Structure formats: C-alpha cells, structure tokens
C-alpha cells in the first residue's frame, strides 16, 4: 500500500492535541476530604453497576483517535496496487459491433467488455487519464482524456452496441488523434476481433483485450433471389457454421408471411451449406430463420429477409420500324424490360399486355392512345384526319431552321451536352398542353407535358435525320426522358442493406412526403425538400416498406430488407491477436499496476466509528439516570 498524498499523514499529529486535551481533562483536581470511605463505597457501587464506566472515557479517546486515523489515512489517499492494463494515458476502444452481442459470456460480450472497462475506471490512478471511444457505425469519443471516474462510468453505462458492422478505420483514426500529445499514451482495444484486414498502423503502443470465449455460431449469411437460365425465379440461401462443432438446425422459409418450407439441416464445423428453392411467381417477401440450433451464441444472424423484385422492372414497348439507336439505348437502361413491334403490326398485336411506357417512333399516332406514358419520336401526321375531338398533337409540315435558340432549365436536360448537334429537319408539332424544353428557330425540338394523367414527351425530329445518336448526349437524354416518363424505383438496394446503412430514397415528382415503415411497424417520415432523401434509421433487422405520399394518397414504392449479412460479424470466434497494419497487437497482460484507492472505505469506517462513539457517549451518559429512576 502506498499513498498518493502522503503529506496529509502529517495531520496525524492532530492526535497529540487530542491526547493532550484528554490528559488535561483527566488530570483531576485534588480535593482533600475527611474520609474517602463513603466515596469508595460509592465508587464500588458504580463499578459494580457498570463495569465499563471507567473504560468509557478511554473508549471515547480510542474511538476519536481511530476516527482521526481513518480520516487522515483517507486524506493521504492510500491505494493498493492492483494488476491492471491501464496506467498513464489510455485510449480505450470499445468494440460495439454486432458480434459483441454474442451471449457466450453472460450476459453478453458487450456487457462483459463494459464491466472490464468499468474495473479499469475503478483502478484509475490519480494522474491517469482515460479516453473512451465507442467503436460504432459512427465511432464516437464518449469521454476525452478524463480522470473523472463518475463521468467515465456514466458514459460507459450509456454505451450501446451498434446494429451491424462498425467503422474501425475511423475509430482508429480517432484513437490516434486522442493519443497524440500524451507521452505515455497507449491504446487498448477491447474487442472480440473481427477487425477488417487493411487498417492503418497506430502511432502509439496498442494492446488488445479479447472478449468472448466461444465461436459457436450458425449464421444465415446469404438470402437472395435470382433468375435461372431457364428464367425461373430461384431462392438461394447460405447457412454457414462458423464454429468448430457440427451444428444441426431447423431452417424455415416464409413467403409473403406464410410458411413455405422447413428443413432440418446439418452443417459441419467451419463449412457452409447452400440451399435453393424454386420460387413461385407471386412471392414478394421472403423470410428465412434458423431455430433449434445445437449451440448458437449470436441471434442477430439467425433470421434474414429478402425482397423478390421479379415483376417490378418497367416494361417498355418500342413501336418502331427499326431503329438500332433506340433499341440499343433501351436495352442498356437499367430496370427496363424493352419489347419491340413494328408499326405495321399495330397495337392489336400486343393487346392484353400492359406496358409502362409506349415509344412511338416515326409513325402516326394511333387514334386510340394507350393508357400509359408516351414518348413520341418524329411523329407523323395521321393518315386519316382526325374527326371529332381535337387530336393530342398536331403535326404541320417540317422546318429546317434547327439552330437551337433556348434550352430550358429542366432535370430532363441534366448532363445533356447539347452542342454541335446537327439536325437536318424537324416536324412542326403543336401541343398546347406541352412545354417546349428545346426550342430552335423553326420551332420546338423537345416538348414535355402531362395529358390525361400521363406524361408525354415529344422529340420532333427523326433520329436518322441528326447526328444526335452519335453524340454522348443521346443515351443521357434518353435515360433522362425515360426516367421522367417512368420514374424508376424510389431506391436502389440491389445487394440489400446492412443495419445502420443509410438508404437514399428518390421520391417521384409529385411526392410530398416519404414514409418508411419499419419492421416493428413504426413510421419514419420526411417531407420532400430536395431530391434525395436519406433514410438513416435502418438499425432494425427485417423488411422496410417505402411509401411515397402525394396528392392521391400513399403509394407503396417497394420494400428493402436489412440483414446482418456479414461474415465478419457472424464469425464470432474471439481473435487471439489483432493485426493493425504491419504490427501485431499483443494481448494485454495485467503486468501494469493500477491503483485502487481506498479512501471511500476509510471515510465510511470513520463515519461508522463516529456513530459508535456517539452511541457510547450517549449510552454512557444515560445509564446512571435510568438507574436513578429505577431507585426512585
């Protein structure tokens, strides 16, 4: 045992005045009396009644000296050296990744790690400093270079593990920053391993405190749908046994919330099993879960979800006599399924099928316009003049003054480099409901508008009559127009979403509010202000439903699944060493000496003795009075 402030021990000299006071008090006045005979009898009586009466005064002195001793010792701040990993300035990196939720150590690894760090906080010496960094999705410095145990404890108690993978590089950068400026700084990584391979080396010494003692975990590491060669949708799942013992489990698959299949599977240690199912067409949401595992310490990867997006891509019908540029452009557009018919065949050929977008190329408009969005290229006047109501588009001859005079500021022309494009001739088209976006001297080249609830775009010249298809602007323009006509998916999550990963949602033009229904049924809402909306509350695992609210109400815009598909996190085997850059981080041994301070105990003892002293004093003073009453 040693003392942090040994000078305070000098206060122990206060014992001298106390003893002196007692001695002064005890030096009795000598009084001569005729005889002590009667007094002796009295003394004998009293001593017989309370043998400890005489001791009382000495007892009080003793207790007071004890109190003084306890207080002086407490002021001197004694500590006992305890083996500890913390000494000097420490930066503690507390792993908050999903694998820390494993329950191989009770109650779980994260709690165990917190308990470990808490014990370090208790052993923090007077001059030690601790920085606490929680390695989460976004690593955060909970407490910076502090000796305040209470602040550290509070921050530690409030720390929660992240939902999925964590950002180790950012955390290590924070730690490096925190360690700078301290001579004796040291970084302590409290983790179960699972750090990414490529990490920058640390500028200061680092030690590693492993958490967890078992790696037994059976995980669903993949769930996806795909089209087989034959065009049949297929469900694919992978179950990986990341532990070192063979595992048996029940794998259940739900389609649209109803049990579809359940299999008992056996996965040998360290191996994975792939399973496939043929999916019925109507399947949209898929959930797979593992149950009845032999041993499984991590629950978060035992249930996964997937969305089957088979019928969601937009169908486009190209009605064209043959246009290699157009066909090519639509083939490569993502999310588009293009079909082509000849104008001669007429729309009757595809009667009964519905398309999201009709592209009419160099043909007169049919009398009966389809109930969908339209893209007209080089519209021809109808062969038979329309009778009755006014036609949607009136084509009156051609013009060749195609020098562009105005480009509207429109998202449709975003990234379109309209320069040096020559057009031989264009048709004079008038559509009062449409807005010209590109205007030439002779008339508009591109018009857009909405008619009967559908969007319509008109390109007034034939592609063959210009060098536009050869320009870089062409695919961009076609993509912009098509996107505008058939708004694509509100979000793009082809590989699924990791927990905590943000999802960008692109609302439609008329959308006012974006809503996301979380797996637990709660709603996230964000009014549309800019184009891109970031949904960043994907901590829960499961299926999220995106809703776009416009004047017509809430319109479902698809779902996405949030799964812990991470081999890194599912592999909960505690790592024996850590690799940071070139350096291997050694496991911290408790060779360093921490200081466990004892003053709170001493203060408690002092208070306790004070109570005892009070009792002795009070009881001592009371006793004779009580007896006197009894005598009376």
Closest approach, Cβ 34 to another protein, in A, equals 4
48 is an interface residue for another protein by CB under 8 A: no
In angstroms, give the least distance from the CB of 40 to another protein.
6
Could you tell me the smallest distance in angstroms from the CB atom of residue 45 to another protein?
A: 7
Query: What value, to the nearest 5°, has the Cα angle with vertex 321 and ends 351 and 399?
Result: 120
Cα(607)–Cα(617) distance, rounded to whole angstroms?
A: 15
Q: Does 58 bind another protein (CB under 8 A)?
A: no
d(CA 92, CA 457): 60
With CB under 8 A as the contact rule, which of the stretches 34-42, 92-100, 288-296, 429-437 interacts with another protein? 34-42
How crowded is residue 575: how many other Cβ atoms within 10 Å of its Cβ? 18
Residue 467: left (phi > 0), alpha (psi -120 to 50), or beta? alpha
In whole angstroms, how close is the CB of 623 to another protein at the nearest point? 10
Smallest distance from another protein to CB 620, Å? 11
Closer residue to another protein, CB minimum distance, 213 or 627? 627
535: β partners: 503
Contacts with another protein by CB under 8 A: the residue count is: 24
Nearest approach, Cβ of residue 29 and another protein (Å) = 5
**CB nearer another protein, residue 183 or residue 625:** 625
User: Residue 429 has which token pair?
Assistant: 């088209």
**Segment interacting with another protein (CB under 8 A) among 35-43, 323-331, 368-376, 540-548:** 35-43
Structural element, H or E, at residue 604 = helix 599-631
In the region spanning residues 4 to 33, those forming contacts with another protein, defined by CB under 8 A, are 25-26, 28-33
Cβ 21 to another protein shortest distance, Å: 13
Q: How many CA atoms lie within 13 A of 330 on its CB side?
A: 24
Contacts of 319 (CB under 8 A, 6+ apart): 340, 341, 342, 343, 347, 358, 359, 360, 361, 363
Which residues are bridge partners to 274 per DSSP?
A: 238
**What's the alpha-carbon Rg for the chain, to the nearest Å?**
41
Q: Which is nearer to another protein, 42 or 472 (CB)?
A: 42
Q: How far is the CB of 27 from another protein (least distance, A)?
A: 8
Asked if 631 touches another protein (CB under 8 A), the answer is yes
Specify the residue, 25 or 406, whose C-beta has the smaller distance to another protein: 25
**Binder to another protein among 1, 7, 34, 181 (CB under 8 A)?**
34
Contact call for residue 35 and another protein (CB under 8 A) = yes
Task: Please select the residue that binds another protein; options are 39, 52, 339, 601, rule is CB under 8 A.
Answer: 39
Q: Which is nearer to another protein, 37 or 158 (by Cβ)?
A: 37
Q: How far is the CB of 58 from another protein (least distance, A)?
A: 13
Q: How many other CB atoms are found less than 10 A from the CB of residue 452?
A: 9
The residue within the footprint of another protein, chosen from 2, 13, 20, 42 (CB under 8 A), is 42
Main-chain dihedrals φ then ψ at residue 92, nearest 5 degrees: -100, 120
CA–CA separation, 71 vs 79, rounded Å? 14
628 binds another protein (CB under 8 A): yes
Using CA atoms, how far apart are residues 436 and 445, in angstroms rounded to an integer? 7
From the number of C-beta atoms within 10 Å of its C-beta (0-12, 13-18, 19+), residue 215 rates as buried
Give the residue with the Cβ less far from another protein, 46 or 567.
46
How far apart are CB 52 and another protein at their closest, in Å?
15
Task: Residue count of the chain, please give it.
Answer: 632
Residue whose tokens read 């993949």 = 222
Decide: is 622 part of the binding site for another protein (CB under 8 A).
no
Considering the complex, state which of residue 57 and residue 273 has its C-beta at the smaller distance from another protein. 57
Work out whether 41 is an interface residue with another protein (CB under 8 A). yes
Pick from 352, 312, 368: nearest CA to 493: 312
CB atoms within 10 A of CB 104: 22
13, 21, 23, 43: which one binds another protein (CB under 8 A): 43
Separation in Å, CA 113 to CA 93, 157, 461 = 10, 11, 70
Q: How far is the CB of 6 from another protein (least distance, A)?
A: 38
Q: Which is nearer to another protein, 106 or 628 (CB)?
A: 628
Binding of another protein at residue 629 (CB under 8 A)?
Answer: no
Residue 64 CB, nearest approach to another protein (Å):
18
* Cβ nearer to another protein, comparing 509 with 621: 621
DSSP 95-123: E-SGGGG--SSSS-HHHHHHHHHHHHHHT
Of the pair 56, 153, the CB lying nearest another protein is at 56
What is the rounded distance in angstroms from the CA atom of residue 33 to the CA atom of residue 39? 10
Q: How far is CA 616 from CA 53, 71, 595, 619, 625, in A?
A: 10, 20, 36, 5, 15
Q: Which of 86-94, 287-295, 465-473, 621-629 is the region at the interface with another protein (rule: CB under 8 A)?
A: 621-629
User: 409: helix, coil or strand?
Assistant: coil
Per CB under 8 A, which region of 37-45, 221-229, 340-348, 500-508 contacts another protein? Answer: 37-45
Q: Which of 7, 16, 37, 351 binds another protein (CB under 8 A)?
A: 37
Q: Determine if 263 is a binding residue for another protein (CB under 8 A).
A: no
Question: Out of 20, 38, 583, 611, which residue is the one contacting another protein (CB under 8 A)?
Answer: 38
Interface contacts to another protein, rule CB under 8 A? 25-26, 28-43, 45-46, 624-625, 628, 631
């Amino acid at each position: 045992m040693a003392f942090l402030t040994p000078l305070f021990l000098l206060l122990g000299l206060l014992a001298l005045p106390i003893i002196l006071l007692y001695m002064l008090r005890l030096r009795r006045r000598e009084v001569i009396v005729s005889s002590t005979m009667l007094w002796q009898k009295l003394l004998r009586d009293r001593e017989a009644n309370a043998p400890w009466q005489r001791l009382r005064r000495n007892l009080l002195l003793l207790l007071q000296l004890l109190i003084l001793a306890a207080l002086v010792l407490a002021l001197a701040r004694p500590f006992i050296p305890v083996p500890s990993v913390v000494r000097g300035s420490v930066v503690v990196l507390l792993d908050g990744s999903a694998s820390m939720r494993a329950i191989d150590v009770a109650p779980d690894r994260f709690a165990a790690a917190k308990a470990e760090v808490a014990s370090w906080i208790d052993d923090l010496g007077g001059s030690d400093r601790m920085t606490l960094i929680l390695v989460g999705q976004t690593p955060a410095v909970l407490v910076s270079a502090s000796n305040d145990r209470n602040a550290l404890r509070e921050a530690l108690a409030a720390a929660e593990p992240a939902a999925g993978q964590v950002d180790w590089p950012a955390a290590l950068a924070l730690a490096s920053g925190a360690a700078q400026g301290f001579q004796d700084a040291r970084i302590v990584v409290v983790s179960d391993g699972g750090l990414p391979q490529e990490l920058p080396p640390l500028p200061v010494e680092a030690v590693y405190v492993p958490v967890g003692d078992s790696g037994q975990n059976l995980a669903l590491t993949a769930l996806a749908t795909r089209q087989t060669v034959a065009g049949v949708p297929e469900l694919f799942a992978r179950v990986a046994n990341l532990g070192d013992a063979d595992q048996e489990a029940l794998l259940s698959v739900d389609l649209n919330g109803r049990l579809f299949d359940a299999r008992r599977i056996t996965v040998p240690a360290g191996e994975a099993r792939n399973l496939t199912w043929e999916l019925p067409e109507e399947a949209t949401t898929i959930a797979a879960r593992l149950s009845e595992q032999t041993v499984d310490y991590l629950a978060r990867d035992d249930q996964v979800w997937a969305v089957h997006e088979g019928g969601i891509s937009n169908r486009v019908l190209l009605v064209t006599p043959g246009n290699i540029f157009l066909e090519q452009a639509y083939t490569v557009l993502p999310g588009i399924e293009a079909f082509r018919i000849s104008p001669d065949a007429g729309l009757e050929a595809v009667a009964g099928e519905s398309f999201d977008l009709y592209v009419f190329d160099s043909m007169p408009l049919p009398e009966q316009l389809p109930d969908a969005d339209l893209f007209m290229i080089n519209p021809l006047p109808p062969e038979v003049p329309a009778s009755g109501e006014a036609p949607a588009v009136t084509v009156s001859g051609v013009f060749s003054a195609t020098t562009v005079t105005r480009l509207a500021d429109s998202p449709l022309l975003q990234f379109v480099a309209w320069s040096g494009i020559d057009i031989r001739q264009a048709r004079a088209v008038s559509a009062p409901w449409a807005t010209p976006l590109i205007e030439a001297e002779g008339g508009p080249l591109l018009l857009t508008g909405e008619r009967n609830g559908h969007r319509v775009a008109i390109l007034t010249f034939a592609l063959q009559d210009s060098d536009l298809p050869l320009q870089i602007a062409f695919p961009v323009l076609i993509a912009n127009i098509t996107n505008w006509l058939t708004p694509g998916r509100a979000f793009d999550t082809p590989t699924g979403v990791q927990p905590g990963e943000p999802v960008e949602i692109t609302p439609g033009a008329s959308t006012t509010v974006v809503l996301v229904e979380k797996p637990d049924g709660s709603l996230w809402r964000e009014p549309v202000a800019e184009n891109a909306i970031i949904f960043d509350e994907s901590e829960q695992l499961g299926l999220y439903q995106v809703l776009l609210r416009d004047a017509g109400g809430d319109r479902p815009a698809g779902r996405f699944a949030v799964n812990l598909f991470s081999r890194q996190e599912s592999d909960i085997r505690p790592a024996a060493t850590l690799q940071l850059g070139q350096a291997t981080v050694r496991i911290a041994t408790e060779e360093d000496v921490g200081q466990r301070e004892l003053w709170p105990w001493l203060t408690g003892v002092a208070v306790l003795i004070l109570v005892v002293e009070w009792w002795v004093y009070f009881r001592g003073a009371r006793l004779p009075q009580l007896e006197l009453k009894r005598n009376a």
